[in-house]
Amino acid sequence: MGRYLLRRLANYLVLVVVAASLTYFLAGLSLNPRAKFEGRNPPLPETSITKTLDEYNMNPDTPILTRFGHWAEGVAHGDLGKTIEGDDVNDDFGRRVGVSTRLLLLATIVGSIGGVALGAFGAIRQYRLFDRFTTLASFFVLAMPVFVIGVALKIGATALNDGTQTIKVLGEYDPQYAGQWNVDALVNRAQHMLLPALTLIILQVALYSRYQRSTMLDVLGSDFLRTARAKGLRRRKALVKHGLRTAILPVVPLLVYNIVLLFTGATFTEKTFGWHGMGELLVDSIGKQDVNSVAAVGLFTAVLVLIAGLLSDVLYAALDPRVRVR
């Protein structure tokens, strides 16, 4: 088991280096940071723009290999460079990772457990009213763009508020609670988190329930379930202990990868509700021609893939003993 995970870790590390390098080259060759300064009024002197770009390691006139070498040396020492505004990318990353974590933690836990439970129960109740209703509702949700769901929830919350501010529709917290973590501040943050978290939960429940229903149907007629029942095991215990454990195996990689990669994939949700997380950073940094921030997001995403791959391997090995003896 240890050797198996070490081999997988080595493969993922190579993937991280290749993916992060390609992202930097792609951003460095396609983005033009000089355009960010040339459109200002009054116009900046050309020498001043060149000096600033050299200082930030974003001068398009510098050979891409030279810029990549400086960036890679900084990354090796834990320095992701400067943003196009001159701030440290590390500081911006730390703040935005915290924002995305607070938004995604609850949503992914509830969404994944809810999706697996709903799909498994729908398979057990195949073609009955519950199964038909959840199938129709899941396809309806999956057919809609995520920002449509978010806007619909905002409209519904505004109508429910009826002039009050019980459900907050924009931002992570009210300005007067900035930097506070007392009871009132936590309640305010919960009011702000309700709608974006609900958006992500609805999507994840719809997605995972479809996969889980399909895999659960495959195992319901299996010989090992009939054997378990023949040995006197009650139907519910046989389904949960043997059926669900087997049916969840094919869903594990999808669950883990989707949950971890949501850190950079919840862009539309963050944009819709004004949360300044990692997904928003990727879109904004491309619009600002910010090479270092785009490269940092690429590196972060590659590391997330590494973490997701290792988590998936560990969970798979824990659920399937055959993997542990290879």
Q: How many domains does the chain have?
A: 2
Residues 66 and 137 in one domain: no
- Residue 89 lies inside a defined structural domain of this protein: no
Query: Residue 23's pLDDT band (boundaries 50, 70, 90)?
Result: very high
Q: Is residue 91 part of a domain?
A: no
111's CB contacts (< 8 A; 6+ apart) are 200, 201, 202, 203, 204, 205, 208
| Residue 159 domain flag | yes
Q: How deeply is 89 buried, as exposed, middle or buried, from its count of CB atoms within 10 A (0-12, 13-18, 19+)? A: buried
How does pLDDT run across 163-208, given as a tens digit for each residue?
A: 788 889 888 889 888 888 889 999 999 999 999 999 999 999 999 9
- The secondary structure of 261-305 as a DSSP string is HHHHH-HHHHHHHT--SHHHHHHHHHHTT-HHHHHHHHHHHHHHH
Q: Is 28 in the same domain as 146?
A: no
Is the separation of the CB atoms in 155 and 251 below 8 Å?
no
Percent of the chain with pLDDT over 90: 38
pLDDT at 1: 66
- Give the per-residue pLDDT at 4: 73
Position 78 pLDDT exceeds 60: yes
Retrieve residue 266's tokens: 């919840």
Both 173 and 209 in one domain: the answer is yes
The answer on 180 and 39 residing in a single domain is no
Pick from 51-60, 86-95, 244-253, 311-320: least confident: 311-320
Rg (Cα) of the chain, in Å, rounded?
24
Residue 2 lies in domain: 1-84+289-325
Q: How confident is the model at residue 25 (pLDDT cuts 50, 70, 90)?
A: very high
What confidence score (pLDDT) does residue 27 get? 92
Confidence of residue 325 (pLDDT cuts 50, 70, 90): low
Is 277 a domain residue?
Answer: yes
pLDDT at position 283, please?
A: 87
Q: Examine the pLDDT at 321 and tell me if it is beyond 90.
A: no
Mean pLDDT confidence for 104-116: 89
pLDDT score for 62: 92
Q: What is each CA distance from 32 to 38, 65, 75, 225, in whole angstroms?
A: 11, 16, 22, 61
In this structure, the answer to whether residues 275 and 169 fall within a common structural domain is yes
Residues 165 and 17 in one domain: no
Least confident of 56-70, 198-212, 270-284: 270-284
pLDDT band of 150, cuts 50, 70, 90:
very high
Same domain, 69 and 134: no
Q: Is the pLDDT of residue 24 over 80?
A: yes
Tell me: the pLDDT tens digits for 208-262?
999 999 999 988 888 888 888 888 888 888 888 888 888 888 888 888 887 777 7
Between the alpha carbon of residue 12 and those of residues 52, 62, 186, 264, the distances in Å are 36, 31, 38, 19
**Residue 65 CB coordination number (10 Å):** 9
Do 152 and 279 reside in the same domain of the chain?
yes
Q: Are residue 63 and residue 160 in the same domain, yes or no?
A: no
Which amino acid appears at position 176 of this protein? Q
Band (pLDDT 50/70/90 cuts) for residue 266 is confident
pLDDT, one tens digit per residue, over 39-56 is 777 778 888 889 999 999
Region 115-143 average pLDDT = 93
Count of Cβ atoms closer than 10 Å to residue 198 Cβ: 18
Answer yes or no: is 232 within a domain. Answer: yes
Residue 82 pairs in a beta bridge with 88
Residue 121 predicted with pLDDT over 60: yes
CATH number at residue 254: 1.10.3720.10
| 200 inside domain | yes
Residue 326 banded pLDDT, cuts 50, 70, 90:
low
In a domain? residue 211: yes
Is 92 part of any domain?
no
* Whether residues 175 and 154 fall in one domain: yes
Q: Is the pLDDT of residue 323 over 70?
A: no
Name the pLDDT band for 264 (thresholds 50, 70, 90): confident
Residues 66 and 151 reside in one and the same domain: no
**Rounded CA gap, 304 and 198, in Å?**
23
Q: Are residues 52 and 192 located together in one domain of the fold?
A: no
